Structure formats: C-alpha cells, structure tokens
A and B are shown apart, each in its own frame.
Chain A
Amino acid sequence: MSVPILSARGIAKSFGGRGWLGGGGGTKRAVDEVDLEVNEGETLAIVGESGSGKSTLARILLGLTKPTAGVVSYDGRPVDAFGAADWAQFRKAVQPVFQDPASSLNPRMRVDTTLSHVLRHHKLATHDTMAAEIAGLLASVGLDAAQFRDRYPHQLSGGQQQRIAIARAMAVRPRLIIADEPLSSLDMSVQAQILDLLLSLKASRRLGLVLISHDLNVVDAIADRVIVMYLGRIVEAGPAQQVLGNPASDYTRSLLAAKLVAEPRLARARRTAMDGVSAPAPIS
C-alpha cells in the first residue's frame, strides 16, 4: 500500500510535573509508546475504556496537542517540521468529530455561520456559491437546509447537532476524520442513524476514519483494523476480524465478555456460562 495518510511512531504524552505549584505528584503518562497508521479509505478503531488515553491520543493525532515524545506524520512527513502552508493543508485534510454534540457547536453561532466560516477560510465557496454549498453539506448529512440553516445549536436535537458537527468536518472535504466517541452520548436509534451516516460517507468519499470508542458493538460494525488500549498503552492491534473474533489479550477478552447483547435468550445463556467468572476491573 502507499504511504499512510496519518501515522504515529512512539507517541507518548505525560501530564503534570512542572506546574507552577511544583506538582508534587509527579507526571502521569496518559499515552505511552503508541504506534499506529491509517490509510486512505480505511477505518481504524481505537478501543479503550476511561483512562486508556484514547482521547488524548485523538488530540495528538489532530495536531491539537503536542506529544511529549514521538512523531506524528502526515503523508509520510513529520508534522514537527510543518510550516504554515503545511499546517493549512493538514487542517483541510484531517478533521475531528467529538463526543458531546451539545458542546461541539458554538452556542452563539447559527448552523450556516458555523459552516460558512470554515468554507470561506478554506476558499471552498464564494459569496455567491455559499448558500448552495451549505445546502449541499447539510443534505450530505441528511438535513434539509431550508429547515436547519438558521437554527442555533440549542434548537437542535442531539442527533441533529452531531450531524451538523459531521457536516462541519466534511466541509473541507477531508481525507481523514478522527471521531472521538461520536455516538456514545446519543440515543440508541440516533446512534444507528449516525453510524449509517458515517458508513455511507466512508463508502462514497473514500474517507479514512479513526473511530475512538469504548463500544465494541460499534467498532465491530465499522472497523477494518482495531487497536485496543489499556492505561495508555496498546495491548493488542490487528485486523478487526482477528482482534474481535480471536482476541489474543486477556483485556480484549474481558471487554468482549462485558459486551451487552440485545437478545435476552442469548444474554442469559451466555452469562450462565460465565457465572463465577468476573471481568477483571480495568483499574490498576
């Protein structure tokens, strides 16, 4: 395969340690020795529970946080060496979608303003083409422009907010979207819709996707490759089929065991088999 869109080598991030107050507790390693890469049109899932460092990793991959050690490369070139023009290109290519849709949109900005700022900055629309461009974007996430363009975030449901957040990410026609728990604060029926939306965008645009999630069901539905993180480290990585179907690490197995099944008979049969076996707690 060609050069990956985004790759990371030996990424580590520690917090604390040199605060103004001296920080007696020492440093906390949120991410440690992480290697990964994402290719064109590929979906990489990063699985982990709270404290696994996956959100910190997302910010590092987005170029929003500097790692303490290691290199993130875009198109094979390390971002450390980026100049302003390189960053502009990077910002057009790699886009985020966050977990909490309510907090993802500026509460004082209307939907069309949010989108038009991005489009204008990247010269993707002129004054004349703006309205049509916004309408097209909203249509691509399944929303009717006439109905939604003038709304403020608080006038939207959680699912609609998340669609707008995805539209904003899609506005720059990115090559890669890094989605940090994009479904977990949504209702289940809305989750299914947003999952469908991500799948269709992925298929129609050859979009790369880094999906950060604790939900193995979602990961299973969409991922090509899976990385399992535990306390900042990668414990297992490989093709989705292999990691979810034939996990090598105990931690992945316990994650799979803890997965809820929306079928009462199956759920009950499974847990009788598991009685007495308790999933190990992820807390050290």
Chain B
Amino acid sequence: MADPLLSARDVKVHLKAHGRIVKAVDGVDLDVEPGQCVGIVGESGSGKSTLGRAMTRLLPNVAIAELSGAVRFCGEDVLAMAPERLRALRRHRGMSMVFQDPLSYLNPTLRIDRQLGEALRHLPDRQAVRARSLELLRQVGLDDADRILRLYPHELSGGMRQRVLIAMALAPDPQILVADEPTTALDATVQYQVIQTLRRLNKERGLAMLIITHDLGMVAELCDRVYVMNGGKIVEAADVFALFEAPQHAYTASLLAAARKLHQSRALGTGAA
C-alpha cells in the first residue's frame, strides 16, 4: 500500500468553551489512502467536525486551548505549515472542503460564474475559465451548466447549490475532498443525487474523500473505510463491510442497532426494481 495521502497521528484539539476545556478531539489516528473514500461517523458532540477542521487547518484560532499531534498531507506537516504554503495548497492540488449548509458558503450577490471564476484565477484567460467552469459543473452532474453559470445562489435549489459548492471545491483540482455532513440539509431525492455525484468523483476520477457524517446510510453508500468517533476518540476503525457485519465496539453496535431500527423496511429495494 502506498503512503497515506492524508494522515493524523495522536491529534488533540482541546477547545475553550464557557471557561472550561473541552477535549473535542482527544488523540486521534486516521489515514486516507489515495483514491480511498474514508468516513468519520459520530453523533453530535463526538468531535468529528472539529477533527475535520483541524485536519484542513480551518479551526478558528481564538478558542483553542491545545492543538497537538501531527497531520500529514503528502508527507507535509499540515499543522506546522506556513500560511503561504497552505494557501498554495488550497489553490492547487491540495485539500478542498465542502460543508453542510451550502447557502452560507455562497455569496448571495454574485452570479455562479463569478464565484467559480474566483476559484479559477490561476487560469490564463476568460475563455479558459469559462470552459473549465462548464466542465466542473458537468462533472458534478449539473448538465444545464450554461444556464446555471448565469444564476444567483438564491435561484438554485438546495441540491444544485451543494453541487455548485462541490464544483467550486473541485476547481483547484484537489487530491482530497473533505465533506462535512454534505447532504444533511437536503431532501432525500436531492441527497441521493449528491451522494451519486460524490461516488462518481471517487470511483471514476479516483478523488480521495473524507466524509464526515452522522448517517450510517451515507457511509454504507459511499465509504471504503470507516472511523467511528465518540467523545473525541476513535472507538473503532474498520473496513466498511467488516464494520457493518461484525462491529467490535459496543458503541458501534448501538449506532448500528439504532440505524437498523430506523432503516428497517418492508419496502426495501422495491424502488430500485
């Protein structure tokens, strides 16, 4: 197996909240191999989002009491990285991030072409930017790319917005996409489209992914390897099939039981037939 693309070793993120120290992430090891889709599953307060933000250096600085351990991306230490290097990585062949609420990450006053253009400033001229924008939108399954480029964010549906954001995340041609609850705010049918989009990017283009979610259904659809997080620690890490078939940790088993209770279905598979 090759070296991991992105790895965490004994990462701790302790935050200050209301005068107390919260050990949001408390000694986590994690690896994402090239081309792999890795899931971090946990419930609210498990520290999964904080871990995702720590690994992409997107934590707010003010509230951190302790940040230690090593995060390596292509062998480089992310936590110690100089701001210029970090910016360079975000602009080209680095890590991109997609968040839960697409609307708050889009500028409401700019058309989509301008916002995508921002992420494509390295391209030589307007024709190149436009061509690449169209290509990116089609990659995320927005076939009507011409029209979408001319629209404002509020004119798009939730699923289209999220896919535009994924397109923007793909603009710097990243080696890994970190997605934090990318479908939580979306309707079921739209969620399914976004998941399909992510899966295609992973399987067909070999884009590595780190998916942060509370939804075991999404993990079952997408991920190759799963880390289960609870109370700031990884309680179990396993191949996705092994995890669902033979959970080793009681917490994982309880999550699975809850998910199966909610996903039990007499109509299973009918829709696909």
Contact = CB atoms under 8 A, between A and B. Distances in A.
A193 B189 CA distance: 26
A217 B262 contact: yes
Interface in A205-261: 214-218, 220-221, 241, 244-247, 253-261
A24 interface: no
A134 to B, nearest CB: 28
A217 B271 CA distance: 13
B229 to A, nearest CB: 13
Interface string B224-268: 000000000000000011001000000000111111111111111
- Chain B's interface size range is 35 or more
Contact of B265 (A50, A255, A259): A259
Contacts of A246: 270
A241 B269 contact: no
Contacts of B244: 262-264
A214 B188 contact: yes
Among A195, A246, A255, A257, find the residue whose CB has the most chain B CB atoms closer than 10 A.
A257
Given A49-B187, A261-B217, A188 B269 contact: no
A169 B264 CA distance: 27
A191 interface: yes
Contacts of B265: 216-217, 220, 244, 259, 261
B68 interface: no
B193 A245 contact: no
A87 B226 CA distance: 53
A50 B265 CA distance: 23
B260 A262 contact: yes
Given A49-B189, A214-B187, A280-B189, A189 B220 contact: no
A33 interface: no
Interface stretch (A116-124, A139-147, A271-279): A271-279
Dominant SS at the A interface?
helix
B190 A187 contact: no
B43 interface: yes
Contacts of B241: 264-265
Interface in B182-200: 187-193, 195-196, 199
Among B159, B187, B220, B267, find the residue whose CB has the most chain A CB atoms closer than 10 A.
B267
A85 interface: no
B215 to A, nearest CB: 7
Contacts of A191: 258, 262
B135 to A, nearest CB: 19
B44 interface: yes
A78 interface: no
A280 B192 CA distance: 10
Given A266-B220, A266-B269, A271-B196, 5 more contacts: A187-B44, A192-B258, A244-B265, A260-B217, A262-B217
> Across chains A and B, which 8 residue pairs bring their CB atoms closest together, nearest first?
A260-B217, A256-B271, A257-B271, A258-B192, A49-B187, A192-B258, A187-B43, A244-B267
